[in-house]
Structure 1
């Protein structure tokens, strides 16, 4: 006997009907859980962004604090934040240049300006230089020169006071004791220029440069040689590179 087809199909239909709701529930659960997970991810990303922005803001505050805590710029141990200190430092530097050029009267004037400034450090340095200048500018009878350098200091002091004859006498004695000392001959060249003796000034300056080539650069910025500025020989001596020769 052949089996009844209807009886064979009924159990399958029942099984399908029973399984369909299960599958539907499974799909429904999956569809519900997916958007829920997406919201969780979004909320976690937002919190991470907030924490990142908070850390970035704190780093900015730390940088600002560091900038505020940084000390003002310094130069030679002197703080430069105050514009009055900057002006005081400029006057001090100009005074030191004049002091090194043995222009003691002008150096003293600049150093006296430094004393009125706010920086105690610069004022102390200025007082030290002023003591040296006062010693060098004392009357010649008190110095009692003996060596070439003593006579040189005396001659420079007289030059600063405008006492040309006494300066020439002292520098002449210094040159006899030190005939090849470049700075003595350089001072004599400056004295010659200040008194209008161009020929002697050129000879002494040329010799001073031969003994020490650095004197060429000093003479370029030395106001004592202003009398020779228009003399072409002076230009050739100080700027030999223009015509390819060396003085």
Structure 2
């Protein structure tokens, strides 16, 4: 895949900077979306497959460093952070959180373009894998889980809050519907070794059942296979 086909998301509350980057990258054959806040970014990620995020750390509604952490944990997207020349601490923290590069304001458009291409080249393998596996949402038994915003909506359209552990476990089940998963498989697929250990998987599943089952004591969605593990007892549609 050529880098020129990549989809860039620019997150900055300065309209002039958003327009400048969008126009310049568009002229260089990139697809570009823009967002002025963290909430706006979530909306875009909920409906679009994005390959790289250019993130201003000074946003009105959410700390940019918190957004960078969230992007890295949930989507593992390449990130180029925008900072002021004096914000060395933010630059260092951004890189420590996993940002791939940074550009200081005011910046050269040609330099920004070069850094974008360099990051995309370094992450090309991950990008192709992410595009091949990318799922914007899962639908199951009247429920819908948006992977961009990590929001779960029930059959009555009410939002249900999930912890990081509950979200990861639910995604593990949704990726393998109607297939028995052992505790070890759930630990591996949810990537939560630091948070969940062995039998505590049972506790996490109980908490998840309380949120999505009509009767948690007699579950119909997440079933137990004695001596083997658990399985999601419904079909799943991916979007």
TM-score (ref. length: structure 2): 0.27
The structure whose residues are more often strand, as a share, is 2
